[in-house]
Protein backbone atom coordinates (compact mmCIF):
# COMPACT_ATOMS: atom_id res chain seq x y z
CA UNK A 1 0.00 0.00 0.00
CA UNK A 2 1.45 3.36 -1.02
CA UNK A 3 1.96 6.47 1.07
CA UNK A 4 2.93 10.06 0.48
CA UNK A 5 6.64 9.19 0.55
CA UNK A 6 6.30 6.86 -2.45
CA UNK A 7 6.71 9.68 -4.95
CA UNK A 8 10.02 9.02 -6.68
CA UNK A 9 9.68 7.10 -9.94
CA UNK A 10 12.88 6.23 -11.78
CA UNK A 11 13.46 4.29 -14.96
CA UNK A 12 16.09 1.59 -14.64
CA UNK A 13 17.00 -0.15 -17.89
CA UNK A 14 13.51 0.39 -19.26
CA UNK A 15 11.65 -0.72 -16.10
CA UNK A 16 9.83 1.90 -14.04
CA UNK A 17 10.29 1.41 -10.31
CA UNK A 18 8.58 3.31 -7.49
CA UNK A 19 10.94 3.93 -4.59
CA UNK A 20 10.39 5.12 -1.07
CA UNK A 21 11.85 8.59 -0.73
CA UNK A 22 12.76 8.12 2.94
CA UNK A 23 14.72 4.94 2.23
CA UNK A 24 16.85 6.32 -0.62
CA UNK A 25 19.76 7.16 1.63
CA UNK A 26 23.24 5.83 1.34
CA UNK A 27 23.80 4.48 -2.17
CA UNK A 28 26.24 1.98 -3.50
CA UNK A 29 29.42 4.00 -3.15
CA UNK A 30 32.11 2.75 -5.46
CA UNK A 31 34.50 5.11 -3.76
CA UNK A 32 34.60 2.70 -0.82
CA UNK A 33 36.56 0.35 -3.01
CA UNK A 34 39.63 2.38 -3.70
CA UNK A 35 42.35 0.21 -5.12
CA UNK A 36 45.57 -0.19 -3.25
CA UNK A 37 48.91 1.20 -4.32
CA UNK A 38 50.28 -2.03 -5.72
CA UNK A 39 52.96 -2.56 -8.30
CA UNK A 40 51.07 -3.35 -11.49
CA UNK A 41 54.07 -5.20 -12.87
CA UNK A 42 53.81 -7.61 -9.96
CA UNK A 43 50.06 -8.05 -10.49
CA UNK A 44 50.55 -8.80 -14.20
CA UNK A 45 53.24 -11.33 -13.29
CA UNK A 46 50.90 -13.07 -10.83
CA UNK A 47 47.72 -13.12 -12.92
CA UNK A 48 48.96 -12.81 -16.47
CA UNK A 49 46.52 -11.59 -19.09
CA UNK A 50 43.50 -13.52 -20.28
CA UNK A 51 42.91 -13.48 -24.04
CA UNK A 52 46.24 -11.79 -24.69
CA UNK A 53 45.89 -12.78 -28.35
CA UNK A 54 43.12 -10.19 -28.74
CA UNK A 55 45.36 -7.47 -27.34
CA UNK A 56 48.22 -8.46 -29.65
CA UNK A 57 45.88 -8.54 -32.66
CA UNK A 58 44.53 -5.05 -31.90
CA UNK A 59 48.01 -3.66 -31.32
CA UNK A 60 49.35 -5.14 -34.57
CA UNK A 61 46.39 -3.74 -36.50
CA UNK A 62 46.96 -0.31 -34.92
CA UNK A 63 50.63 -0.36 -35.91
CA UNK A 64 49.75 -1.47 -39.44
CA UNK A 65 47.25 1.36 -39.91
CA UNK A 66 49.74 3.84 -38.44
CA UNK A 67 52.34 2.77 -40.99
CA UNK A 68 49.78 3.12 -43.78
CA UNK A 69 48.92 6.62 -42.54
CA UNK A 70 52.58 7.63 -42.69
CA UNK A 71 52.86 6.17 -46.18
CA UNK A 72 49.80 8.17 -47.26
CA UNK A 73 51.31 11.35 -45.83
CA UNK A 74 54.73 10.81 -47.40
CA UNK A 75 53.49 9.77 -50.84
CA UNK A 76 50.35 11.87 -50.92
CA UNK A 77 51.02 13.38 -54.35
CA UNK A 78 51.78 10.01 -55.90
CA UNK A 79 48.62 8.54 -54.38
CA UNK A 80 46.61 11.50 -55.64
CA UNK A 81 47.93 10.82 -59.15
CA UNK A 82 46.94 7.19 -58.79
CA UNK A 83 43.39 8.19 -57.81
CA UNK A 84 43.29 10.71 -60.67
CA UNK A 85 44.21 8.02 -63.19
CA UNK A 86 41.67 5.71 -61.62
CA UNK A 87 38.87 8.27 -61.69
CA UNK A 88 39.71 9.66 -65.13
CA UNK A 89 37.90 6.71 -66.67
CA UNK A 90 34.66 8.06 -65.19
CA UNK A 91 35.49 11.66 -66.24
CA UNK A 92 35.63 12.81 -62.61
CA UNK A 93 37.19 16.29 -62.01
CA UNK A 94 40.84 16.27 -60.90
CA UNK A 95 40.09 17.84 -57.52
CA UNK A 96 38.08 14.78 -56.59
CA UNK A 97 41.21 12.64 -56.78
CA UNK A 98 42.99 14.69 -54.11
CA UNK A 99 39.86 14.64 -51.98
CA UNK A 100 39.60 10.84 -52.30
CA UNK A 101 43.28 10.42 -51.38
CA UNK A 102 42.97 12.77 -48.40
CA UNK A 103 39.75 11.15 -47.21
CA UNK A 104 41.26 7.66 -47.42
CA UNK A 105 44.36 8.78 -45.55
CA UNK A 106 42.24 10.45 -42.84
CA UNK A 107 40.13 7.32 -42.37
CA UNK A 108 43.31 5.25 -42.10
CA UNK A 109 44.75 7.58 -39.44
CA UNK A 110 41.51 7.61 -37.45
CA UNK A 111 41.35 3.82 -37.65
CA UNK A 112 44.86 3.64 -36.21
CA UNK A 113 43.85 5.89 -33.29
CA UNK A 114 40.72 3.83 -32.61
CA UNK A 115 42.68 0.59 -32.68
CA UNK A 116 45.31 1.98 -30.30
CA UNK A 117 42.53 3.06 -27.95
CA UNK A 118 40.87 -0.37 -28.15
CA UNK A 119 44.17 -2.13 -27.43
CA UNK A 120 44.89 0.17 -24.49
CA UNK A 121 41.38 -0.30 -23.07
CA UNK A 122 41.66 -4.07 -23.43
CA UNK A 123 45.08 -4.07 -21.73
CA UNK A 124 43.76 -1.88 -18.88
CA UNK A 125 40.52 -3.84 -18.47
CA UNK A 126 42.23 -7.23 -18.30
CA UNK A 127 44.03 -6.65 -14.99
CA UNK A 128 44.16 -3.09 -13.53
CA UNK A 129 40.44 -2.39 -13.98
CA UNK A 130 39.51 -5.93 -12.96
CA UNK A 131 41.60 -5.56 -9.81
CA UNK A 132 40.05 -2.17 -9.05
CA UNK A 133 36.50 -3.44 -9.56
CA UNK A 134 37.25 -6.45 -7.37
CA UNK A 135 38.18 -4.12 -4.52
CA UNK A 136 34.95 -2.19 -5.00
CA UNK A 137 32.90 -5.38 -5.03
CA UNK A 138 34.53 -6.54 -1.81
CA UNK A 139 33.77 -3.15 -0.25
CA UNK A 140 30.13 -3.42 -1.36
CA UNK A 141 29.61 -6.46 0.87
CA UNK A 142 30.34 -4.33 3.91
CA UNK A 143 30.76 -6.42 7.05
CA UNK A 144 33.04 -9.36 6.35
CA UNK A 145 33.46 -10.27 10.02
CA UNK A 146 30.30 -12.37 9.88
CA UNK A 147 31.17 -14.12 6.61
CA UNK A 148 32.21 -17.72 7.12
CA UNK A 149 31.77 -18.98 3.57
CA UNK A 150 31.74 -16.99 0.31
CA UNK A 151 31.33 -18.03 -3.32
CA UNK A 152 33.04 -16.54 -6.36
CA UNK A 153 31.00 -17.70 -9.34
CA UNK A 154 33.28 -17.93 -12.35
CA UNK A 155 36.52 -16.83 -10.59
CA UNK A 156 37.58 -15.21 -13.89
CA UNK A 157 40.83 -13.37 -14.46
CA UNK A 158 42.76 -16.22 -12.84
CA UNK A 159 41.25 -15.44 -9.46
CA UNK A 160 41.62 -11.66 -9.10
CA UNK A 161 38.24 -11.30 -7.38
CA UNK A 162 38.64 -14.63 -5.59
CA UNK A 163 41.92 -13.56 -4.03
CA UNK A 164 40.55 -10.12 -3.15
CA UNK A 165 37.80 -11.81 -1.16
CA UNK A 166 40.32 -14.16 0.45
CA UNK A 167 42.57 -11.21 1.36
CA UNK A 168 39.63 -9.49 3.06
CA UNK A 169 38.79 -12.65 5.02
CA UNK A 170 42.43 -12.89 6.05
CA UNK A 171 42.41 -9.25 7.12
CA UNK A 172 39.31 -9.85 9.28
CA UNK A 173 41.18 -12.65 11.01
CA UNK A 174 38.22 -15.04 10.97
CA UNK A 175 38.08 -18.64 9.83
CA UNK A 176 36.16 -17.85 6.66
CA UNK A 177 36.85 -19.39 3.29
CA UNK A 178 35.95 -18.55 -0.29
CA UNK A 179 35.02 -21.14 -2.89
CA UNK A 180 35.82 -20.41 -6.52
CA UNK A 181 33.65 -22.22 -9.05
CA UNK A 182 34.43 -22.42 -12.75
CA UNK A 183 33.89 -24.68 -15.72
CA UNK A 184 35.55 -28.03 -16.44
CA UNK A 185 38.96 -26.55 -17.31
CA UNK A 186 41.09 -27.87 -14.46
CA UNK A 187 44.21 -26.18 -15.82
CA UNK A 188 42.57 -22.80 -15.19
CA UNK A 189 41.66 -23.81 -11.65
CA UNK A 190 45.25 -24.93 -11.03
CA UNK A 191 46.50 -21.53 -12.25
CA UNK A 192 43.99 -19.83 -9.94
CA UNK A 193 45.24 -21.81 -6.94
CA UNK A 194 48.85 -20.94 -7.81
CA UNK A 195 47.92 -17.25 -7.92
CA UNK A 196 46.25 -17.57 -4.50
CA UNK A 197 49.42 -19.06 -3.03
CA UNK A 198 51.52 -16.28 -4.56
CA UNK A 199 49.16 -13.74 -2.95
CA UNK A 200 49.55 -15.47 0.41
CA UNK A 201 45.88 -16.45 0.73
CA UNK A 202 46.05 -20.06 -0.41
CA UNK A 203 44.67 -21.40 2.88
CA UNK A 204 41.51 -19.31 2.45
CA UNK A 205 40.73 -20.50 -1.09
CA UNK A 206 39.05 -23.62 -2.46
CA UNK A 207 38.40 -24.19 -6.16
CA UNK A 208 36.08 -26.64 -7.85
CA UNK A 209 34.33 -27.19 -11.15
CA UNK A 210 30.59 -27.00 -11.66
CA UNK A 211 27.67 -25.80 -13.76
CA UNK A 212 26.57 -22.20 -13.14
CA UNK A 213 22.95 -23.13 -13.88
CA UNK A 214 22.99 -26.04 -11.41
CA UNK A 215 25.36 -25.06 -8.65
CA UNK A 216 26.58 -28.09 -6.65
CA UNK A 217 25.69 -26.50 -3.31
CA UNK A 218 22.73 -26.71 -0.97
CA UNK A 219 20.28 -23.86 -0.50
CA UNK A 220 21.60 -21.07 1.70
CA UNK A 221 25.19 -22.31 1.77
CA UNK A 222 27.00 -18.96 1.50
CA UNK A 223 27.04 -15.72 3.46
CA UNK A 224 28.16 -13.79 0.37
CA UNK A 225 28.17 -14.52 -3.36
CA UNK A 226 30.22 -12.52 -5.86
CA UNK A 227 30.82 -12.82 -9.58
CA UNK A 228 33.00 -10.77 -11.91
CA UNK A 229 32.76 -10.85 -15.72
CA UNK A 230 31.26 -14.31 -15.82
CA UNK A 231 27.46 -14.45 -16.08
CA UNK A 232 27.43 -12.88 -19.56
CA UNK A 233 29.31 -15.97 -20.79
CA UNK A 234 26.53 -18.33 -19.69
CA UNK A 235 24.52 -19.60 -22.65
CA UNK A 236 26.75 -17.99 -25.25
CA UNK A 237 26.72 -21.22 -27.27
CA UNK A 238 23.14 -20.22 -28.21
CA UNK A 239 24.24 -16.75 -29.29
CA UNK A 240 24.51 -13.86 -26.86
CA UNK A 241 21.37 -12.09 -28.09
CA UNK A 242 19.05 -15.10 -28.18
CA UNK A 243 16.17 -15.81 -25.82
CA UNK A 244 17.77 -19.13 -24.88
CA UNK A 245 20.96 -17.42 -23.73
CA UNK A 246 18.98 -14.84 -21.75
CA UNK A 247 17.02 -17.61 -20.05
CA UNK A 248 20.20 -19.42 -19.06
CA UNK A 249 21.73 -16.22 -17.67
CA UNK A 250 18.55 -15.76 -15.66
CA UNK A 251 18.90 -19.27 -14.27
CA UNK A 252 22.50 -18.54 -13.27
CA UNK A 253 21.35 -15.44 -11.36
CA UNK A 254 18.59 -17.50 -9.72
CA UNK A 255 21.17 -20.07 -8.65
CA UNK A 256 23.26 -17.35 -7.02
CA UNK A 257 20.20 -16.31 -5.02
CA UNK A 258 19.37 -19.90 -4.11
CA UNK A 259 22.75 -20.69 -2.55
CA UNK A 260 22.87 -17.35 -0.71
CA UNK A 261 21.77 -17.34 2.92
CA UNK A 262 18.89 -15.17 4.03
CA UNK A 263 20.29 -11.74 4.77
CA UNK A 264 23.36 -12.51 2.65
CA UNK A 265 24.84 -10.08 0.11
CA UNK A 266 25.36 -10.75 -3.58
CA UNK A 267 27.52 -8.60 -5.85
CA UNK A 268 27.85 -8.97 -9.63
CA UNK A 269 30.09 -7.06 -12.01
CA UNK A 270 29.33 -7.91 -15.59
CA UNK A 271 29.19 -6.68 -19.17
CA UNK A 272 26.26 -5.68 -21.38
CA UNK A 273 23.50 -7.85 -19.86
CA UNK A 274 23.20 -6.23 -16.43
CA UNK A 275 19.62 -4.98 -17.17
CA UNK A 276 18.53 -8.61 -17.34
CA UNK A 277 20.02 -9.32 -13.93
CA UNK A 278 18.27 -6.33 -12.37
CA UNK A 279 14.91 -7.47 -13.75
CA UNK A 280 15.52 -11.02 -12.55
CA UNK A 281 16.45 -9.84 -9.07
CA UNK A 282 13.33 -7.71 -9.00
CA UNK A 283 11.21 -10.72 -9.94
CA UNK A 284 12.80 -12.69 -7.10
CA UNK A 285 12.00 -9.90 -4.60
CA UNK A 286 15.58 -9.19 -3.63
CA UNK A 287 16.19 -6.20 -1.37
CA UNK A 288 18.57 -3.24 -1.63
CA UNK A 289 19.24 -3.72 -5.34
CA UNK A 290 21.94 -1.18 -6.15
CA UNK A 291 23.35 -0.38 -9.57
CA UNK A 292 26.60 1.47 -10.17
CA UNK A 293 27.24 3.92 -12.96
CA UNK A 294 28.46 2.55 -16.27
CA UNK A 295 32.14 1.57 -16.47
CA UNK A 296 33.70 0.90 -19.88
CA UNK A 297 35.45 -2.47 -19.86
CA UNK A 298 36.70 -4.29 -22.93
CA UNK A 299 35.10 -1.55 -25.06
CA UNK A 300 31.56 -2.27 -23.80
CA UNK A 301 29.49 -1.01 -20.88
CA UNK A 302 29.59 -2.73 -17.51
CA UNK A 303 27.94 -2.20 -14.13
CA UNK A 304 28.20 -3.50 -10.60
CA UNK A 305 24.94 -4.74 -9.10
CA UNK A 306 24.58 -5.58 -5.42
CA UNK A 307 21.57 -7.00 -3.59
CA UNK A 308 20.53 -8.55 -0.29
CA UNK A 309 18.49 -11.70 0.09
CA UNK A 310 15.51 -10.94 2.32
CA UNK A 311 15.07 -12.75 5.62
CA UNK A 312 11.33 -13.04 5.03
CA UNK A 313 8.88 -12.79 2.17
CA UNK A 314 8.68 -9.23 0.86
CA UNK A 315 5.44 -7.69 -0.40
CA UNK A 316 5.43 -4.87 -2.91
CA UNK A 317 7.94 -3.79 -5.55
CA UNK A 318 11.67 -4.14 -4.83
CA UNK A 319 13.78 -1.06 -4.40
CA UNK A 320 16.50 -0.18 -6.88
CA UNK A 321 19.12 2.34 -5.81
CA UNK A 322 21.32 4.08 -8.31
CA UNK A 323 24.74 5.52 -7.70
CA UNK A 324 25.82 8.01 -10.36
CA UNK A 325 29.17 8.68 -8.72
CA UNK A 326 32.14 6.91 -10.26
CA UNK A 327 35.61 7.16 -8.80
pLDDT at 311 over 80: yes
Q: List the end-to-end C-alpha distance of the chain, in Å, as a whole number.
A: 37
Give the model's pLDDT for residue 29: 37
Give the model's pLDDT for residue 19: 37
**Contact of 261 with 247, CB cutoff 8 Å:** no
Strand duo 295-297 + 300-308: pairing: antiparallel
Collapsing DSSP to helix, strand or coil, 15 comes out as strand
Its pTM surpasses 0.85: no
Lowest mean pLDDT among 167-176, 223-232, 258-267: 167-176
Give the model's pLDDT for residue 258: 96
Return the closest-CA partner of residue 212 out of 161, 144, 149, 258. Answer: 258
The overall average pLDDT reported for the chain is: 81
Percent over 70 (pLDDT), the chain: 81
Amino acid sequence: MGNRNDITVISVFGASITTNQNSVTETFDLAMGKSSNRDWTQIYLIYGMDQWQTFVFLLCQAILFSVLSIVYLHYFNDISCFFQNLLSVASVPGGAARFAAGFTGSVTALSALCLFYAAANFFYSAVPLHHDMAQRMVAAVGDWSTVRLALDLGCCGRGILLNSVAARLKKEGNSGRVVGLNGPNRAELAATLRAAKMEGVGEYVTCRTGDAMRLPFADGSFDAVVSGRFVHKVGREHGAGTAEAAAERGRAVAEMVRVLKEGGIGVVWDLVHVPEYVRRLQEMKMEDIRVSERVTAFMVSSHIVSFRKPTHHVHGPPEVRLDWRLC
